[in-house]
Structure 1
């Protein structure tokens, strides 16, 4: 990489490929993965499905291009690869050939009603409104032994949310919404612009919009026969936990389907989720767990006797998530409770019937951990450098595939043998996804930086240009880049935003302040109900440290953050005027007025109680009441349809700053939710941030634009 290359243009985002998911085949010989890329012609992000051998003998083969793909899953025999997608409806759903004969029935529509079975002998009534399921997410599958295009396996009128293969690979279980006649009419009125009528406590969700009371059921689908059966007793009342984790149907041995649900009088008042088992032939489900946890990540061992799950505290998100294993009787064992570390985001993966892998968030680092189902979770893959992190992983038949991210080299897939996790220093590289991007472009480097904040030792990740020597530094402009959450953590690795700023000469500092995960429960829980206190101390102490070490020019300090990072940016500016400019993105600045207008009422209540019961706590955690202390020029960004951090929050702070005469600018991205998905808007965002900081950079004002 050329250190003399020009600053990275925002439009270079169109050249980046990201790995978002992967699935190792049952035999371990292939891995399917999802690659997220930008389509410059359509100005959209596309997620394609690719397959590559795990021995590194061939380059990846792209299976999908035109439509997004998600949730890749291999059939048990490894011959078929299923995925979720919205695609043009398969012609075989209307007329196709089967053993030389014509199939004229359809599992949707009135002409196929005799092919739709309910467990009580009644049809599921999906299609009386004439909706044929087009433009909805369905399950598709490639037959990799025979070739050809993907075949459509489901035709649910309201789409499929999740699915799994049966152990014999001949059927599917899918989770899908199934409205009653009255609900269908209400949905049609809403779609036509009628009033939105809601009687649920959890009445909205970011990215999903206004919620309704339509229930999600499990359906057993036989694609070859064109039949499906609704499991009537699985239609639980929707709740807040379902908004977060879905139903996650997983088909195990002995013909048992595990899934998530929660039953109470107020399911929207908690994030609790229980694990249930149901017979695919129907009948009442059996509750396998006894409440008190938010379960997710259901994964059967190969023989279907034990179920690995992620277990979180629904009332205290600062408490580390545990890896637990259940058997069919409901006996449960925690494998991670003694580690005092939370799990990473990936679902666990079984290596065989007894041993399994999971990712572990370990002091600002995502790494692999292994356990026996009756033992404890222990760290493994010791060859992994502290300069890189595992962003995704999966395993099958003794083969482990990891997506490794390194600040200087980007993210690629690597394969290694499960029995060599502790001593394989050189795993097989399977992809070179961003080689073209890195050619002729400056990369960046990463270093862990530890410092004292009061009596607490705190760590951060510093990302810096290739021409910067941290051991003999020349002061650079500093961008204090604050992570969201706050229950999250920064780690070494490569990302486009960091490359954008370091190519402009900035040192980017990401502090794992108190409240961050991966450093133990006490470190994270210290911030519970105390926003705008300890984390601000840590952020300012980290800034002081880099100034004292000669890394940061004290006259060229900038601060930014997204979501919770935006919240913290405003907090920081109420405490100090040492930053030349700030950019608070998609944040909340008055917690009391956000309560009930965002989709996080349970979260806020778990942290602070209810606003009318703890008005002082809500005020102290808000920056808007202290707006008279902000003197720093502040850029505010928001998504027009962001219901995690509503845009009205940015408007309030913006107007208040302008009333006081503080330089401020508001940018609202139309049609965007909490994350900015549209590539053109993402490019605009970076250009706007760069222009804002350059405008208020003292070096720019004095004519020294070398590093600006």
Structure 2
């Protein structure tokens, strides 16, 4: 049984030359449209796909930018999987999320925040559970929590709606009275948001609290019989607790007893204790629970625990050089297969592994071709699977396949971005090169539409992915971080999957630990030199850009070499000590530095661009969100001060008000893209 949360992972989609592209553009469609920055805001994004129980319909969440609202807007769409007729289900200014079907296919439940003037819950602007009746498309609220709902789950028979509510809890330690008496200041701790678990009877609409133990619940899942509830919990909602001090708990409904699962395998025996638990899912036998843990810098793990028998927890191993990806793990219905996503050489595949009598059996790749799968969903029989898919020629769309076989062919159901059929698309390829230490590294190269090597060398943008425990996918992307934008303007664009990236094996991933600001910098520059040697790139006309860890590596590159004529550093770490002190997930720094600042002072020096700031002479744009907690604004301020006041290097610092680690407003996204384009043209192309 799956859990449906308001916070869903934005999936990266894929490409597959073997797909049956039923709605692809006719071969005669002329590609006459040159891609522009404005085209970015016209792309529909697809996530949270869900197939109906009988597999005859499917629903998805579609997000599009709305200039008038100054944000991206998400709505629910429905399609008939036989005749491919689709219709939009919601038309609000609120963002819908987490769609799930009732067992009979009559209703779709989802989360939305509907706000009406001076209204109480459920129309007070807080997230609530709603449902839409397919017969007449009527929408009605299911919950009316004053502080809103975090996540929900339907029971297997759709007679009960479980949901996580919100509650303000106050510590009762010896200083509680002092904090209460002097309440004007802000305190670092003492209050927290906790999550009681409630259930609504959908027959008589009576509601009760199932479990309220003043814990923060990051995810929950109820088994099909309703006898056990799995939760990922912490004692506080500060993110640092989730990073390394979270537990998986099993609540027995009949005895009202709670048990914490032994965590030795993913804490004490793991390469790092700072891991993120995610992806709870019960087998239909009501006993086996699957879950994942992810680490920064180390391979993630996948486990199955039998909560009934006193047997060891099973650990699944990825095949080949695959890296487990994301928390979307599902037991395939009517089977003993556990299914999950795996990163593999810039692709993401859907895998299923047999679990029989406490042992791991055969593992198969479900879909054929070069796939980079995002969201996926099985029908109740387990025989059909729908999934989102992004190829080299189109963006996110819905596909369906037979889930029973290995490497199944699949067919396309939607074409939500028909405008792309006329775009002059970049030429996308995978390029490989040798790092200085002999390792093979690869990246995604984008060249302008119609470009031939005989036309001469191109200016280059090196666009660096974040994470670093992530990878750039082999698929069409038009992003505010450079892809598609610059190739459309005559640039080559290289997105290197440097050491530390996922999908290239455990060693490739862990080689970065203890070597940040060194090994990945060498990897990237070797790729640049490869393109220069091949006669594609003009080595005198190069720029570098990135966001998050890509911003960190932008800082690292310009403090290591003066070969780049311009840089755009977005939300990039400048000093590792400052990062450990201020970011909301400090375990990330501890992992890569291999210890705390007072234990590894040299490591923090070597991995900080601040240490080498006097070497920087590259004109640099600095982008940062005003309220970024992942890479706090102090990094941008330190880089700006170094360049502007002490080194006399051309610099602009752009602080986006009310933004966090990403840019959520239309005007801010567009400002960033325009600034990058103008900055690179001026300093690299002398425009």
What's the TM-score bracket when you normalise by the shorter of the two chains? 0.7 to 0.9
Report whether the alignment pairs 1:250 with 2:222: yes
Deviations 1:309-346 (A, max 9, x none): 2233xxx5333223322333264322225645322225
CA–CA separation in structure 2 for the residues paired with 1:520 and 1:28: 36
Q: Could you tell me which residue of structure 2 aligns to residue 335 of structure 1? A: 316
CA–CA separation in structure 1 for the residues paired with 2:432 and 2:347: 14
1:173–1:249 Cα contact (<8 Å) kept: no
Counterpart selection for 1:290 from 263, 281, 298 = 263
CA–CA separation in structure 2 for the residues paired with 1:594 and 1:324: 31
The residue correspondences of 1:242-281 to structure 2 (distance < 5 A) are: 246-262=218-234, 268=241, 270-280=243-253
CA–CA separation in structure 2 for the residues paired with 1:677 and 1:457: 36
Provide closer, same or farther for how the CA distance between residues 55 and 288 of structure 1 changes in structure 2, counting only shifts above 3 A.
farther
**Post-superposition offset of 1:171:** 1.3
TM-score by length of 1: 0.83
CA–CA separation in structure 2 for the residues paired with 1:274 and 1:473: 59
Q: Which moved more, 1:323-332 or 1:480-489?
A: 323-332
Structure 2 gaps of 5+ residues are 1-28, 267-275
Counterpart selection for 1:24 from 51, 55, 64 = 51
2:354–2:362 Cα contact (<8 Å) kept: yes
Counterpart selection for 2:303 from 321, 324, 332 = 324
> How many pairs are equivalent?
628
CA–CA separation in structure 1 for the residues paired with 2:323 and 2:308: 26
Provide closer, same or farther for how the CA distance between residues 45 and 338 of structure 1 changes in structure 2, counting only shifts above 3 A.
closer
TM-score by length of 2: 0.85
Q: Could you tell me which residue of structure 1 aligns to residue 21 of structure 2? A: none
2:297–2:591 Cα contact (<8 Å) kept: no
CA–CA separation in structure 1 for the residues paired with 2:303 and 2:469: 21
Q: Could you tell me which residue of structure 1 aligns to residue 578 of structure 2? A: 593
CA–CA separation in structure 1 for the residues paired with 2:326 and 2:435: 29
Q: Could you tell me which residue of structure 1 aligns to residue 560 of structure 2? A: 575
Report whether the alignment pairs 1:466 with 2:449: yes
Q: Could you tell me which residue of structure 2 aligns to residue 640 of structure 1? A: 626
Q: Which moved more, 1:364-373 or 1:687-696?
A: 364-373
Q: Could you tell me which residue of structure 2 aligns to residue 15 of structure 1? A: 42
SS at match of 1:545: helix
SS at match of 1:500: coil
SS at match of 1:462: strand
CA–CA separation in structure 2 for the residues paired with 1:82 and 1:291: 37
The residue correspondences of 1:421-570 to structure 2 (distance < 5 A) are: 421-424=406-409, 427-436=410-419, 438-454=420-436, 455-469=438-452, 474-497=456-479, 498-570=483-555
Provide closer, same or farther for how the CA distance between residues 141 and 282 of structure 1 changes in structure 2, counting only shifts above 3 A.
farther
**Post-superposition offset of 1:394:** 1.9
Provide closer, same or farther for how the CA distance between residues 196 and 339 of structure 1 changes in structure 2, counting only shifts above 3 A.
farther
CA–CA separation in structure 1 for the residues paired with 2:672 and 2:201: 47
Provide closer, same or farther for how the CA distance between residues 408 and 250 of structure 1 changes in structure 2, counting only shifts above 3 A.
same
Q: Could you tell me which residue of structure 2 aligns to residue 102 of structure 1? A: none
SS at match of 1:37: strand
The residue correspondences of 1:362-441 to structure 2 (distance < 5 A) are: 362-374=344-356, 375-376=360-361, 378-381=363-366, 383-385=368-370, 388-396=371-379, 397=381, 398-424=383-409, 427-436=410-419, 438-441=420-423
Q: Could you tell me which residue of structure 2 aligns to residue 135 of structure 1? A: 125
**Post-superposition offset of 1:450:** 0.7
Q: Which moved more, 1:367-376 or 1:501-510?
A: 367-376
The residue correspondences of 1:43-54 to structure 2 (distance < 5 A) are: 43-54=70-81
Report whether the alignment pairs 1:686 with 2:673: yes
1:218–1:249 Cα contact (<8 Å) kept: no
Counterpart selection for 2:600 from 605, 614, 618 = 614
Provide closer, same or farther for how the CA distance between residues 252 and 162 of structure 1 changes in structure 2, counting only shifts above 3 A.
same
Q: Could you tell me which residue of structure 2 aligns to residue 209 of structure 1? A: none
Provide closer, same or farther for how the CA distance between residues 517 and 423 of structure 1 changes in structure 2, counting only shifts above 3 A.
closer
Provide closer, same or farther for how the CA distance between residues 431 and 38 of structure 1 changes in structure 2, counting only shifts above 3 A.
same
CA–CA separation in structure 1 for the residues paired with 2:80 and 2:290: 27
The residue correspondences of 1:227-242 to structure 2 (distance < 5 A) are: 227-232=206-211, 234-236=213-215, 238=216
Provide closer, same or farther for how the CA distance between residues 679 and 554 of structure 1 changes in structure 2, counting only shifts above 3 A.
same
Deviations 1:103-161 (A, max 9, x none): xxxxxxxxxxxxxxxxxxxxxxxxxxx987721111111122x3232221111111111
CA–CA separation in structure 2 for the residues paired with 1:638 and 1:50: 34
SS at match of 1:570: helix
1:336–1:376 Cα contact (<8 Å) kept: no
Structure 1 gaps of 5+ residues are 95-129, 201-211, 702-708
CA–CA separation in structure 2 for the residues paired with 1:148 and 1:31: 15
2:572–2:636 Cα contact (<8 Å) kept: yes
Provide closer, same or farther for how the CA distance between residues 280 and 147 of structure 1 changes in structure 2, counting only shifts above 3 A.
farther
SS at match of 2:524: helix
CA–CA separation in structure 2 for the residues paired with 1:355 and 1:464: 41
**Post-superposition offset of 1:279:** 4.0
